Structure 1
C-alpha cells in the first residue's frame, strides 16, 4: 500500500519535470520498485485508466467526466493507495504521470497498446496500435501488455486489427511478456459500435482471440461479466481477468455479479476503471475497497 495520498500531489513539480527534465521519466521508470509476488490467493486487482486515449471520456450521463486530468490523477492515487489494489492499466501519458508522482512503486503496471479506434470515429474498428508496443512495455520494465480486439463481421477494418493484434501477441510471447486480450464481437448500430454481450458472442470472441499470434503461452483474457458466465469460462484454459464494464445499474447488483464470476474456475481477478474511479456517491476509496474485498476474498471453485 502506497503512503502517497491525493493531498500529497505536487502538480507544479510534475509540470516542471515534464517541461524541463523529460529525461527524468525514463530514469524514474528504471528506478521504480517493481511489484511484490502475487498475493497468496494468486489474484490480481487492476485499476483501468486507458479510456481517455481512445476519446472515451464519459461516465454515466456526463460526456466529459474524465476530461480533468488532475482530478483523474487524484482519483487514481487514492485508488492505488488502497489495500488489495495490485496495479494499474494505462497509456504512456497517464502511467508516466503516476510514475513521477511515485504512485507506481510496488505495483503491477499494465501498458495499453491499441488506442487508435477512437470512440465514434468512422475508422473505430480499424483499431491501430498508437500507444505502447510490447518492446516499449518491456523497456519501461512494466509487467503486462493489454490490447482491445473488437471483431466486427460487417466492417473490413477488423482485418487490420486482427493482423496487428496477432503481431503484438507474437512479440509479447517472444519477450515473455504477459498480454491481456480484451475481445468482443461488435457491430455498427445507428452509427455507433455496440458490443454483443450474449454468452454465445463472448464465447466466439474468446475462440478468435485465443488463436491469435504464433504462441498463446503468455496470453491472458480480459472478459466482460455476462449471463451464463459458466459457459464462457468453459470455453478457455487461458488465465482470465474480469472486465468491470460501464458504471450502469445499482452498485450492489454489480458487486454481486462480480463476486459470482470471481468464484468460477480460471478467473484470476478483476480490471475495473470508471465504475470505481467515478462512483455515483463520489467515494472512490469505499468503492475500491469493496471490489478489493471481492477479488481477494473469493475462493475459486474447482472444475
Structure 2
C-alpha cells in the first residue's frame, strides 16, 4: 500500500480535480444485483462515526491505508457488487480505480458519534442527494435510530424523510437503516428483539413523500420472516460485528431465502475477519447468494 498511499496523497495535493474526473469516467454497474441476482455490498463508513474498533482492537479501522488495502481485496472478489462509504473513502477508491462496474452508495449522516452524549442526533454531515447524483453514484444510506424517549428523534425522522425524498426525486436508492434504540448506562443500545425491529421497519417504510427507490438495511434477528413481512420494500441484510462467524453465516443464508431480501451489506466482519483472510471471508459471504 505505500505506493498507493503516495499516489493518493500526491493527487490530493497537486490535482484534486482528478477526483471528479475519475468519477466522470467510472464505468457504472449495469444492475444493483450481480449475476447471482443478489447484492453483495462492502460497508466502510464506520470510521466517520468514530467507530474504529473491531473485536478487541479499538483502533483496527483507524489505519486508512490498511483499510483501503482490505477494501481493494474485497472489491476484487467475484460476486461483490458494490461499496458503501463516506466521501473521503470513496474518493480514495476512485483514485485507485477500483469502482468500475460496482454500485456505489454514499453515507449521509455520521454526526451521531459512537459513545457521545449526542449519539442519537444523527444529523446529515456526509453526502447529500445532489452530490451523490453529481458523482454518478447509485444511492445514499442513512442511519435512522428511533429513541422513543429522546426529544431528538423527531428531527432525525424529519431529516431522514427529506433525504429519502431528495433521493427518490433523482431516481436514486435511499438505503435506510432503522433501529429502535434506548439509552442504557449512558450509551445508545439498539433493541434487536423481533418486535422492535418490526416496529422500526414499519416506521422507516413510511418516511418520505415517495418510496419507489427506498430500500431498507436491516439486522438479522430472530423472526426474520416477521421482520421482512412487515414491509414490501426491498431489504438488504446487514452483518454488524460478528463473534460467531459460523452462526452468522448460517443466519444470513436463511434470511436471504425470504422474498424481500435482496442481498448483504457487510463491513467489519468481512474486512477484518478473525483469521485475517479477507478474500476467503468475502468468498464465503458471496456463496450464500
Counterparts of 2:9 and 2:197, CA distance in 1: 42
- Residue-by-residue CA offset, 1:178-208 (whole Å, 9 max, x unaligned): 1110000001100111000001000000011
Question: Given the alignment of the two structures, is residue 101 of structure 1 paired with residue 96 of structure 2, yes or no?
Answer: yes
Question: Given the alignment of the two structures, is residue 213 of structure 1 paired with residue 208 of structure 2, yes or no?
Answer: yes
Question: Given the alignment of the two structures, is residue 26 of structure 1 paired with residue 20 of structure 2, yes or no?
Answer: yes
2:116 counterpart (94, 99, 121): 121
1:75 counterpart (41, 56, 70): 70
Secondary structure at the counterpart of residue 240 of structure 2: coil
Counterparts of 2:35 and 2:95, CA distance in 1: 30
Does structure 1 conserve the Cα–Cα contact (< 8 Å) formed by 2:22 and 2:95?
Answer: yes
Does structure 1 conserve the Cα–Cα contact (< 8 Å) formed by 2:42 and 2:84?
Answer: yes
- Residue-by-residue CA offset, 1:152-171 (whole Å, 9 max, x unaligned): 01211111111100100111
Question: Given the alignment of the two structures, is residue 160 of structure 1 paired with residue 155 of structure 2, yes or no?
Answer: yes
Secondary structure at the counterpart of residue 66 of structure 1: helix
1:284 counterpart (278, 282, 285): 278
How do residues 210-249 of structure 1 correspond to structure 2 at under 5 angstroms?
210-248=205-243
Question: Given the alignment of the two structures, is residue 185 of structure 1 paired with residue 217 of structure 2, yes or no?
Answer: no
Counterparts of 1:78 and 1:40, CA distance in 2: 20
- Give the structure 2 partner of residue 170 of structure 1: 165
Aligned-pair CA distance for 1:209: 0.5
Counterparts of 1:177 and 1:68, CA distance in 2: 31
How do residues 186-205 of structure 1 correspond to structure 2 at under 5 angstroms?
186-205=181-200
Counterparts of 2:30 and 2:230, CA distance in 1: 31
Counterparts of 2:27 and 2:258, CA distance in 1: 32
Does structure 2 conserve the Cα–Cα contact (< 8 Å) formed by 1:223 and 1:242?
Answer: yes
- Give the structure 1 partner of residue 260 of structure 2: 266
- Give the structure 2 partner of residue 299 of structure 1: none
Does structure 1 conserve the Cα–Cα contact (< 8 Å) formed by 2:35 and 2:79?
Answer: no
1:11 counterpart (1, 5, 28): 5
Does structure 1 conserve the Cα–Cα contact (< 8 Å) formed by 2:34 and 2:80?
Answer: no
Using structure 1 for the length normalisation, give the TM-score: 0.93
Does structure 1 conserve the Cα–Cα contact (< 8 Å) formed by 2:83 and 2:103?
Answer: yes
- Residue-by-residue CA offset, 1:7-47 (whole Å, 9 max, x unaligned): 9x522111100011111111110111111333344310000
Secondary structure at the counterpart of residue 110 of structure 1: strand
Does structure 2 conserve the Cα–Cα contact (< 8 Å) formed by 1:59 and 1:247?
Answer: no
Aligned-pair CA distance for 1:216: 1.0
Name structure 2 gaps, 5 residues minimum.
Answer: none
Name structure 1 gaps, 5 residues minimum.
Answer: 1-5, 296-303
Q: Matched residue pairs, number? A: 288
